[in-house]
């Protein structure tokens, strides 16, 4: 009952017919993040695309100015000097055949997977396991690279990966409710800017149609799309 009252109070505080400016939306989401843990603040963007067509897929990585507040576990496929480089940069799991065996056994203890190009023949065999989880290394995302140090550090510093779902919606966590309003606004605008720049050539008409902000246990707040630019 207490939970229902809390949700009712949150929903009563949000005008579902209004599109809020970015700073107003962030303030409202922070105010209503009253759970007993530090809620994640998430943004959802409804794009004018059909991701079923290859020329309309939207996918990428963006480094948020203030990070995400989440600890990212990084797994790296590498050998020799590159494996040592990955470990020195802070990778959580590093290996080659032995790492592949662990993954095949169901032990996937990382949130981002990076590989050197020479490892892709091995990693490719794990496609059916890593692919559905969004963990397959990809050269276009900078996760197949010889710059292992840079890739690991970027992932650890608060880099967010995004990918359009079937309905053309992109969503991501952009920080924690404990972040300041200015930090969340800057992270929000950096994320939206990255998605805007990733507009595919095949997208026609209005690209960024709708946007909403919410916290893990809070109500969604509709965003004024024009306030997200710049």
| pLDDT per residue as tens, the chain (230 positions) | 455 665 666 666 677 889 999 999 999 999 999 888 999 999 999 999 988 888 888 988 898 999 999 888 999 999 999 999 999 999 999 999 999 999 999 999 999 999 999 999 999 999 999 999 989 999 988 999 999 999 999 999 888 889 898 889 999 999 999 999 999 999 999 999 999 999 998 888 899 999 999 999 988 999 999 888 75
Which residues, listed in sequence order, are joined to residue 47 by a DSSP beta bridge?
208
Q: Measure the CA–CA gap between 96 and 121, rounded to whole angstroms.
A: 11
Task: Read off φ and ψ for residue 99, nearest 5 degrees.
Answer: -70, -40
Is residue 189 a contact partner of residue 230, using CB atoms and an 8 Å limit? yes
| Residue 184, Cβ density class (10 Å: 0-12 exposed, 13-18 middle, ≥19 buried) | buried
What DSSP state is assigned to residue 207? S
Instruction: Report whether 51 contacts 33 (CB < 8 A).
Output: no
User: Could you give the angle at which helices 22-31 and 181-197 cross, rounded to 10 degrees?
Assistant: 130
């Amino acid at each position: 009952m207490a939970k229902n009252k809390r949700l009712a109070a949150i929903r009563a505080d949000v005008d579902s017919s209004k599109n809020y400016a970015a700073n107003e939306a962030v303030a409202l989401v922070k105010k209503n993040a009253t759970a007993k843990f530090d809620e994640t603040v998430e943004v959802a963007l409804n794009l004018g695309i059909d991701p079923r067509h290859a020329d309309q897929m939207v996918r990428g990585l963006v480094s948020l100015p203030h990070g995400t507040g989440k600890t990212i576990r990084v797994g790296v496929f590498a050998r020799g000097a590159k494996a040592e480089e990955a470990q020195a940069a802070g990778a959580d799991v590093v290996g080659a055949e032995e790492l592949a065996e662990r993954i095949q056994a169901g032990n996937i203890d990382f949130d981002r997977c990076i590989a050197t190009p020479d490892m892709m023949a091995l990693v490719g065999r794990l496609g059916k396991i890593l692919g559905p989880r969004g963990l397959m290394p990809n050269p276009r995302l900078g996760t197949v690279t010889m710059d292992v140090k840079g890739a690991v550090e970027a992932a650890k510093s608060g880099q967010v990966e995004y990918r359009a779902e079937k309905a053309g919606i992109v969503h991501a966590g952009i920080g924690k409710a404990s972040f300041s309003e200015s930090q969340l606004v800057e992270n929000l605008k950096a994320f939206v800017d990255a998605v805007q720049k990733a507009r595919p050539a095949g997208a026609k008409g209005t690209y960024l149609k709708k946007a909403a902000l919410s916290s893990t246990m809070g109500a969604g707040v509709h965003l004024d799309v024009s306030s997200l630019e710049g």
